[in-house]
Structures are given as C-alpha cells and as structure tokens.
Structure 1
Amino acid sequence: MHSETAHDIPRPQAARPGGSPVAVRGLALAAQVLIGLETALQLVLAAAGGTRSTLFRVTTPLSLLLFFGSVVVFLVWFRRCRLNAELLAPGAHRYSAGWAVGAWFTPVALLWIPRTVTLDIWRASAPAGTGVWLVNAWWAAWLAKTVGGVIVGEIGHNAYGYSVFDMAAGLGAGVLAVLLIRRLTAHQEAALRG
C-alpha cells in the first residue's frame, strides 16, 4: 500500500522568467467591481448618518464582505501582475513577488513598499515614456484614506470612515484604484502580446 508523501503532491508553480504569463483580466474586473461597490456603499453609509444609522447596522455584513473580498481579489491580481512583470523585465524589480502581498501586512513597510512594487510593475508593463502619475495619485489617495483618515477622525472625534475628509479620500482612493487596475492590466496585456 502506497501513502502519499509531501514529495508526491504536485504544487502550483509561479511564473518564472521565460515561463508563461498568468491571467489577470478576470481578477482585474472582479477587483474593480468589488472596490467600486465597497466605495459606493461607504459613501451611502456616510450620507445616511454613519455608524449611528440603521442602514449601517443592516449593511455591516455586506460591507465587511465587500471590504475583505476587495482586499483578497486585489492582492491576488497584484501578485499575478508582479509575476508577469518579471517576464517582461527579468531582474529589474526591487522586491520579490512575495512582497507584492507581504508588504501590505508588514508594519511601517506598508507605507512605501507596495508603491515601489507597483512602480516596478508599471515600468515593466507600460510603454516607454508613460508617466507614473496614476501610480503616485493612487498611492497619495490611499495614504490619505488610511493614515489621514485615522488622524482626522481622532482630531475631529468622528467615527473613522465618516468624516468629510475621509469620505473624499475614500472616494478618491476607490476611483484611482479602479483606474490603476484598469490601466495596468491593459498595459500588461499589450506588453505580453507584443
């Protein structure tokens, strides 16, 4: 009788230089939809009275599902883009594909490493001379939403996520994230076809 060992179980392999690209279009669409819905729901909740509203209590499970779904799908898309970027520009990246996900969960490093990974992916994927303004605008909006929202909430004694500042930063971060996903996916697919 033969029992399987850890050596017998096939493990999925990431794309390597010279390997095949991994699909990102479906994940990109899912991430855009989830981020758009989550952003819209947060704006509706803020307009309805924030954490004190009945709507907040009723939609909390949906809000959590959209938030965590957005995070997971975005991170899977982001890592796949990083793997593809290695095919386009082998050895030109400052951080490994593992940092495409891990950096988001590393205290302090999450304030700059994800932007650096994004810039490397963008430069490997976008046509030469394409500016990085979208990456910088998205990153500034994300920092404003996450760091600035906490600071403004503490100063103004408002529930996090429902100050005017946080609503504006959240809308900006959501819209720019959708645009970034859309543009980066298009650039990468074109580069991989070429």
Structure 2
Amino acid sequence: MNAPTEPPALRPLQGVTHTAAATLVLAGTAWTALAVWHIRLAAAGQPASGPPDQGEGRHRPLNSLENGYHLVSTLTEVATALCAIVFLAWLWSVRDNARALSGKRPRYAWPWVYAGWVIPIANLWIPRGVIADIHRSSAPDTRLPRALNWWWGLWLVGTLTGTGLLHGDTADSVIERAYTNVTPLLLVDAAVIGTAVAGTLMVRAVSAVQRKHMPESSRQGVEADAPGERVA
C-alpha cells in the first residue's frame, strides 16, 4: 500500500497572478485588433477579383488590407497561445495552494488540468469545475466569484460557435467571411474579448482569496521565498 503523499507547500502567487492577468489583457487587446480588422474588411468590401481563395487550389495576390489581417491574425494566435501557457502555470499554482490550505486531494486529478480543455463534452464543464473546486478548497466559507461564471459563459459562447479560440479556419477563409457576413465574427470577437476581461477579474479574485486564507506564518514564509513580492 502506497504511503499518502504530502500536500504541496504553499506557493507564491503575486508574480504568477500578475503575469496571468497581463497575458489575458494582451490576448484581449489582440482580439480587439482582430475585430477592428474584421470591421475594416467589411467596410472595404470584397474586391472585384473575388475572395483570396479562388478555389481548386488557386489564390490571388493579397491586397495591403488582407496582408495586414494575416499579420494581425498571426500575432493574435501567438498572444492566445502565450496566454494559455501562463494561465495553466497560474492554475497549477493555485491548485497546489488549495490542496495545501485544505489538506485534501483536489476533486479533479491532475490530468484534467490539461485534458479537461480538449475532451469533447467534458470540456463544457470540467475547466470551470477545476477552478470552482480550487476556490471552495481554499475558502469553503466564501462564495464563488461572479467573474468565474461570466468568464466561463463567455468562453463557451466563443468556442461553441466554432469560430472562437479553438476555430480552425484559415485566415483567407475568415477574410472571405468578413467580406460577406461580418456580424457572426464580431459577435465571437466580443465574446472572446469579454472572456479575457472576466478571466482577468477571476484570476485576481481566486488568488486574492487564497492569500487571505493563508495562515499569517505561512504567508510570511511565502513572501520570504519570493523576494520582491508582497501580499496585496
């Protein structure tokens, strides 16, 4: 019979929280730029030569506005990927702290921290459940932050449409859609931008409640292990 594993030590949160919030703001800013380009494409209208993808493997030369969209789209993908990596790093930190504060194993085993985002059907509730469990384990007497539900609701709107953070259309196909029917794209842009805003508030709220419920001696020890960080 395996001996029970020791709960992890409390981990500093100030740096990882600020970084996660900053990358969420960065991703939201990138998606705002993408929305602006969608509007510019719609306002310009499709050229007489037709969409960039002419079909049967033929593509016409892009104009300057379309080239600009390709650049903005690529930068948005990079910002979103960076945000995802940093967000998961924050999630691991608060998950370890929740276990240390409660002395109990998390409701969701560690593979769900990753798999919960990509397994169909399960990804409709498990990521929110992971964070809700972290919050409840950290502060059983505290209500879940409203930002958690706003963040998750907007995330689902952005992803279930097939054109949010997980959409797989090429930039040229999105350009064509912006020319012909931009409204669905703008609705998804708004949902993703809202997700970033609500996510920023949610990250700060979960981290704040953990710092509040740390024993004073443990809080001082965490600060000592992380020079330059202070508890807000």
Shorter-chain TM-score: which interval?
Answer: 0.7 to 0.9
Alpha-carbon distance, 1:169 to partner: 0.7
Alignment-mate amino acid for residue 137 of structure 2: A
- Quickly say closer, same or farther: Cα 1:140–1:49, change in 2 above 3 A: closer
Question: CA offsets per residue over residues 84-108 of structure 1, 9 Å max, x none?
Answer: 1111223363212332233223232
Question: CA offsets per residue over residues 111-149 of structure 1, 9 Å max, x none?
Answer: 111111111111122461424432222111111111135
Alpha-carbon distance, 1:78 to partner: 0.5
Unaligned runs of 5+ in 2: 42-64, 170-175, 217-232
Alpha-carbon distance, 1:16 to partner: 3.9
Find out whether 1:122 has 2:135 as its counterpart. Answer: yes
Residue correspondence of structure 1 range 60-139 to structure 2 within 5 A: 60-91=73-104, 93-126=106-139, 128-139=141-152
Alignment-mate amino acid for residue 124 of structure 2: L
- Quickly say closer, same or farther: Cα 1:90–1:117, change in 2 above 3 A: same
Unaligned runs of 5+ in 1: 1-14
Helix, strand or coil: the match of 1:105?
A: coil
Alpha-carbon distance, 1:77 to partner: 0.8
Contact 1:79–1:101 at 8 Å: present in 2 too? Answer: no
Find out whether 1:36 has 2:58 as its counterpart. Answer: no
% identical aligned pairs: 28
Return the alpha-carbon distance in structure 2 between the equivalents of residues 34 and 132 of structure 1.
20
- Quickly say closer, same or farther: Cα 1:35–1:75, change in 2 above 3 A: same
Contact 1:83–1:97 at 8 Å: present in 2 too? Answer: no
Tell me the matched-pair count: 176
Return the alpha-carbon distance in structure 1 between the equivalents of residues 144 and 74 of structure 2.
39
Find out whether 1:178 has 2:200 as its counterpart. Answer: yes
Greater RCO, CA 8 A, separation 6+: 2
Return the alpha-carbon distance in structure 1 between the equivalents of residues 70 and 19 of structure 2.
26
Partner of 1:27: 16
| RMSD over aligned Cα atoms | 2.9
Q: Between 142-151 and 68-77, report the one with greater CA deviation.
A: 142-151
Helix, strand or coil: the match of 1:95?
A: coil
Return the alpha-carbon distance in structure 1 between the equivalents of residues 162 and 14 of structure 2.
31
Contact 2:158–2:192 at 8 Å: present in 1 too? Answer: yes
> If you compute each CA radius of gyration, which structure gives the higher value, 1 or 2?
2
Partner of 1:191: 213
Per the normalisation by structure 1, the TM-score is 0.77
Partner of 1:142: 155
- Quickly say closer, same or farther: Cα 1:129–1:80, change in 2 above 3 A: closer
Alignment-mate amino acid for residue 176 of structure 1: A
Alignment-mate amino acid for residue 68 of structure 1: A
